[in-house]
């Protein structure tokens, strides 16, 4: 009888241990599912010298690594960006910065040179140009050639306040390549693999279109600063 009782107790103990392990794994997996939506940058991402929308002393910084040739960047700019501006930038809670990622070759570089030139010489016109150039991206065959000198000047002429003559000069002489190269260095330093990549106060999102996640990170950081 003692042998049977001992075997029964051992079986109960083993079952309890197995159930405990399973429960622990469930908890760990749940925690992972909550945290894998973003990763924490090992280094601080500086936005000094980058085009930035919003109050300079806004408590939360949101950064987009984007490419004017990227269709997902255009979609993000048309769907998520307006919500972010309305909910947080216009209310003084967030400052938003844009960093060029040249993932589509010469056209990406040309667009970045143009954007950097306008930011340098006509900063008040930068965001209008930024929006207008993305608007010109074709909905079909976006990989085809569409960012040309002619298109850049056409877009710039349609934006109030741009110094078109200086833009032409900067494109011809590549005089703002230093600024473009700084962006490329940041892309490499932070191992940016996709566009758009969204960073909220040093936290890089896995899904840039998860606006609820973006809001959650912003709100969490705002709570810590109140």
Say what the pLDDT of residue 7 is.
55
Residues 61 and 112 in one domain: yes
Residues 17 and 78 in one domain: no
For residues 41-69, give the mean pLDDT: 96
Residues 129 and 151 in one domain: yes
Three-class SS state of 61? strand
Q: What is the mean pLDDT of the chain?
A: 88
- Cα distance between the two ends of the chain: 67
29 exposed, middle or buried (CB, 10 Å; 0-12, 13-18, 19+)? exposed
Residues 21 and 51 in one domain: no
Residues 8 and 105 in one domain: no
The sign of the torsion formed by the CA atoms of 173, 178, 179, 185 equals: positive
Largest pairwise CA distance in the chain: 99
Between CA 198 and CA 208 the distance in angstroms is 6
Residues 26 and 65 in one domain: no
Residues 20 and 61 in one domain: no
Phi, psi of 133 (to 5 degrees): -70, -40
Say what the pLDDT of residue 86 is.
98
Residue 21 — very low, low, confident or very high, per pLDDT cuts 50/70/90? very low
Residues 136 and 32 in one domain: no
Domain extent at residue 146: 40-224
Report the domain count for the chain: 2
Residues 14 and 112 in one domain: no
Residue 225 — very low, low, confident or very high, per pLDDT cuts 50/70/90? low
CA-nearest of 61, 182, 71 to 116 is: 182
Between CA 154 and CA 133 the distance in angstroms is 10
Residues 121 and 198 in one domain: yes
Between CA 57 and CA 76 the distance in angstroms is 25
Residues 54 and 100 in one domain: yes
CA-nearest of 152, 151, 155, 146 to 70 is: 146
Between CA 98 and CA 62 the distance in angstroms is 9
pLDDT above 70 covers a percentage of the chain that reads 83
Say what the pLDDT of residue 18 is.
42
pLDDT in tens, 198-223: 999 999 999 999 999 999 999 999 99
For the whole prediction, is pTM greater than 0.95? no
Three-class SS state of 53? strand
CA-nearest of 213, 181, 187 to 200 is: 213
Give the lowest-confidence range in 16-20, 119-123, 139-143: 16-20
CATH code of the domain in which 208 resides: 3.40.30.10
Residues 21 and 46 in one domain: no
Contact criterion met (CB below 8 Å) for 45 and 190 = yes
């Amino acid at each position: 009888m003692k042998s049977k009782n001992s075997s029964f107790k051992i079986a109960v103990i083993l079952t309890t241990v197995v159930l405990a392990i399973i429960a622990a794994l469930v908890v760990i997996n749940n925690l992972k599912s909550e945290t894998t939506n973003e990763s924490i940058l090992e280094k601080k991402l500086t936005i000094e010298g980058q085009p930035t929308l919003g109050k300079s002393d806004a408590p939360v910084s949101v950064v987009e690594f984007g490419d004017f040739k990227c269709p997902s960047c255009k979609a993000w700019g048309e769907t998520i960006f307006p919500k972010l501006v309305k909910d947080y930038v216009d209310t003084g809670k967030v400052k938003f910065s844009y960093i060029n990622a040249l993932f589509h070759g010469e056209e990406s570089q040309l667009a970045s040179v143009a954007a950097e030139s306008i930011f340098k010489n006509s900063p008040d016109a930068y965001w209008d140009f930024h929006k207008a150039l993305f608007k010109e991206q074709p909905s079909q065959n976006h990989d085809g050639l569409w960012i040309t000198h002619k298109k850049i000047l056409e877009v710039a002429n349609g934006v109030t306040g741009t110094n078109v003559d200086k833009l032409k000069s900067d494109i011809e002489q590549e005089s703002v390549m230093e600024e473009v190269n700084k962006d490329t260095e940041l892309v490499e330093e932070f191992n940016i693999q996709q566009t758009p990549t969204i960073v909220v106060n040093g936290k890089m999102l896995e899904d840039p279109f998860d606006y609820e996640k973006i809001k959650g990170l912003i709100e969490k950081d705002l709570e810590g600063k109140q």
